[in-house]
Amino acid sequence: MEKTKKIWLDGELVDWEKAQVHVLAHALNYGTGVFEGIRVYPTSNGPAVFRLKDHVKRLLEGAKVMAFDVKFSYDEVFEAIKDTVRVNGDGVDYVKPCFFLGGEEVGLNPINVDCRLAITCIRMGSYLGEGAQEKGATLITSSWKRPWNMAAPAGAKVNGIYVTSCLAKREAVERGASEALMLNAQGNIAECSGENIFIYKRGKLYTPKVTDSILEGITRNSIMEIASDLGYEVFEREVSRIEAYTADEVFMTGTAAEITPVSSIDNRPIGDGKPGPVCKELQDIFHRVVRGEEPQYSHWLDLVG
Ligand code: PMP
C-alpha cells in the first residue's frame, strides 16, 4: 500500500511510520474496534468529503453499540477528518477513521480498556478493479453467511465482524469472481463483503431491509433518495437469491465500490450480462452528485477547505 504523509492518532497528526500500537492491544487480539470508510472527491471548490456528517454519526453510533468510552466529540471527529485529508494533500480519495481498544490487555473484558482514535487517508482509486464500474462485476454466493443480528451487531461497522467478509472475499477471488454475495439466517440476500445490493425487476427497485442483517449503507441511502427523486419506486424488503438471479439488473453500492453493476451471479448472467440502463442512469447522477455538480444534493458534501 502506498503511504500517505500523516495519520491522526489521538489528537495529533503523526508521521505514517509513527502511528504504532502495541501487539497486545485489545483490538488487535479481539477485533474490538469500529471504523468507517469515507470518500473524498474533487469538486470545482476543492476536495470535498461525501456525507461526512452521516459517516461521523454512524462511527459514533458504532462506538455506542460497543459501549466504548469515547474521548472525542462529534465536532472533534468531524474536524479531525477534514484536517487529516487537508494535510495529506491532493489525490487522497479515501479516509478510514477507527475507534479501537488500544489498551494492552489479555482477557476479553473490554471494560476500562483505553479507547483510541486513528484517522488514516489513502489513495484508493477503483476498489473493485479498473473497468468494474463499466463492465460489471461477477459475484458468487459465498458459503459464509452474513453475521446476523442474533450473533453480532451486523448493523455496526465493527472490526471483528469483518473476518467473515474477508473469508467471503477470499472465496470469491479464489473462485475467479470479483465479489461475494452473503445470505442471512433466513437464506435471503443480505449484502456483499463490503457493499449493499439492489435489484431492478419488473420496473421496481428492491434492496434488503436494515433488519436483514445488513450494514445500513450511506451509499445505499443516497441511491434510494436519488432513485426516488428520479421517480423510481424503491422498496426495502427481503430479496431472495432467485429474485437476484432472475432480475433485469443487479448492482452494488458502497463508499469504496460506489455504484457497480453486477454482470453475473454464480455464473448466471444478469439480464443480458451487461450493465443495464437503470444502473447506468444512477451511476451517472451519483458521479455528478459527489463532484458537486447537482445542486440539489450539495448538502451531502463538506469542503475540506
Ligand atoms: N456493507 C458492508 C458490510 C460494508 O462494509 C459497507 C462499506 N461500508 C457497505 C455495506 C456499504 O456502506 P456505505 O455505503 O456506507 O459505504
Do residues 19 and 74 both lie within one domain? yes
- The pLDDT-based confidence of 130 (bands split at 50, 70, 90) is confident
Query: Residue 284 falls within a domain, yes or no?
Result: yes
Q: Are 214 and 154 in contact (CB under 8 A)?
A: yes
**Do the strands 179-183 and 204-207 form a parallel or antiparallel pair, or are they unpaired?**
unpaired
Contacts 24+ apart (CB under 8 A), 267-272: 270/136, 270/244, 270/245, 271/247
Give the ligand 1 atom nearest the CA of 161: 3
Separation of alpha carbons 92 and 9, rounded Å: 18
Give the pLDDT confidence score for residue 228 in this predicted structure. 98
Decide if 302 is inside a domain: no
Distance 63 CA to ligand 1 centre (A): 16
DSSP 13-43: EEEGGG----TTBHHHHH--EEE--EEEEEE
Percent of the chain with pLDDT over 90: 97
Choosing from 93, 123, 153, the residue where a domain stops is: 123
Question: Is there a single domain that holds both residue 197 and residue 143?
Answer: yes
What pairs with residue 189 in β-bridges?
Answer: 183
Ligand 1, atom 10, lies closest to the CA of 195
Using the mean position of ligand 1's atoms as its centre, give its distance from the Cα of residue 195 in Å.
5
Domain that holds residue 26: 2-123
Do 108 and 158 belong to one domain? no
**Cα 254 to Cα 194: distance, rounded to the nearest angstrom:** 7
100 membership: H or E segment, kind and range: strand 94-101
- CA dist 69 and 116 (Å) reads 9
| Atom of ligand 1 minimally distant from the CA of 220 | 14
Q: Could you tell me if residue 301 is inside a domain?
A: no
pLDDT at 301 (0 to 100)? 98
**Contact criterion met (CB below 8 Å) for 220 and 191:** no
CA of 194 to the centre of ligand 1 (A): 5
225 contacts: CB under 8 Å, gap ≥ 6: none
pLDDT at residue number 13: 98
DSSP, res 222: H
Please tell me whether residues 259 and 175 are part of one structural domain: yes
Grid coordinates representing 108 are 476479553
Residues 150-157, mean pLDDT to the nearest whole number: 95
Residues 118 and 21 in one domain: yes
How crowded is residue 46: how many other Cβ atoms within 10 Å of its Cβ?
A: 12
Question: Are residue 140 and residue 286 in the same domain, yes or no?
Answer: yes
Residues designated catalytic: 157
pLDDT of residue 288: 98
Read off the pTM.
0.97
Residue 170 lies in a domain: yes
What is the structure's pLDDT at 151?
93
Chain segment 248-273, per-residue pLDDT in tens: 999 999 999 999 999 999 999 999 99
Mutation pick for ligand 1 pocket among 207, 219, 258 (CB with most ligand atoms within 8 Å): 219
The single residue listed with the C-alpha cell 461521523 is 56
Task: Mark which of 88, 123, 158 sits at the end of a domain.
Answer: 123
Site to probe by mutation for ligand 1, drawn from 215, 225, 252 as the one with most ligand atoms within 8 Å of Cβ, is: 215
In a domain, 295, yes or no: no
Tell me which of 101, 123, 145 is where a domain ends: 123
Q: What is the tally of structural domains in the chain?
A: 2
Among 139, 149, 195, 218, say which to mutate for ligand 1: greatest number of ligand atoms within 8 Å of CB: 195
Cell 455538480 found at = 293
Q: Side chain identity at 251, as an amino acid letter?
A: F
Q: Is the pLDDT of residue 90 over 90?
A: no
Same domain? For 136 and 265 the reply is yes
**What does the pLDDT look like over 169-200, one tens digit per residue?**
999 999 999 999 999 999 999 999 999 999 99
The strand pair at 179-183 and 33-35 is best described as unpaired
Q: What is the pLDDT of residues 27-86, one digit of tens each?
A: 999 999 999 999 999 999 999 999 999 999 999 999 999 999 999 999 999 999 999 999
**24 domain-assigned:** yes
Kindly state whether residues 74 and 150 are assigned to the same domain. no
Domain annotation covers residue 296? no
Task: Judge if 258 and 180 occupy the same domain.
Answer: yes
Would you say residue 134 has pLDDT above 90? yes
* DSSP codes of every residue in 64-89: HHTT----S-HHHHHHHHHHHHHHH-
* 17 burial type by CB count under 10 A (0-12 exposed, 13-18 middle, 19+ buried): exposed
The answer to whether residues 96 and 24 belong to one domain is: yes
Say which CATH number the domain at 24 has: 3.30.470.10
**63 closest CA partner among 4, 108, 24, 110:** 110
Packing angle between helix 52-65 and helix 74-88, nearest 10 degrees?
A: 130
Question: Residue 213 maps to which CATH number?
Answer: 3.20.10.10
* CA–CA–CA angle 147, 100, 192 (5° rounding): 30
Task: Determine, yes or no, domain membership for 298.
Answer: no
Segment 86-105 mean pLDDT:
95
Portion of the chain with pLDDT greater than 70, in percent: 100
CA separation, residue 31 to residues 21, 138, 281, 284 (Å): 14, 29, 39, 37
Are 160 and 13 in the same domain? no
- Residue 1's pLDDT band (cuts 50, 70, 90): confident
Residue located nearest, by CA, to atom 6 of ligand 1:
194
Q: Average per-residue pLDDT in the chain?
A: 97
> Quick check: 125 and 144 in contact, CB under 8 A?
no
**Same domain for 258 and 139:** yes
Indicate whether 87 pLDDT > 90.
yes
Helix (H, G, I), strand (E, B) or coil at 303: strand
Around ligand 1, the residues with Cβ closer than 6 Å are: 37, 165, 191, 194-196, 215, 217-220, 253-255
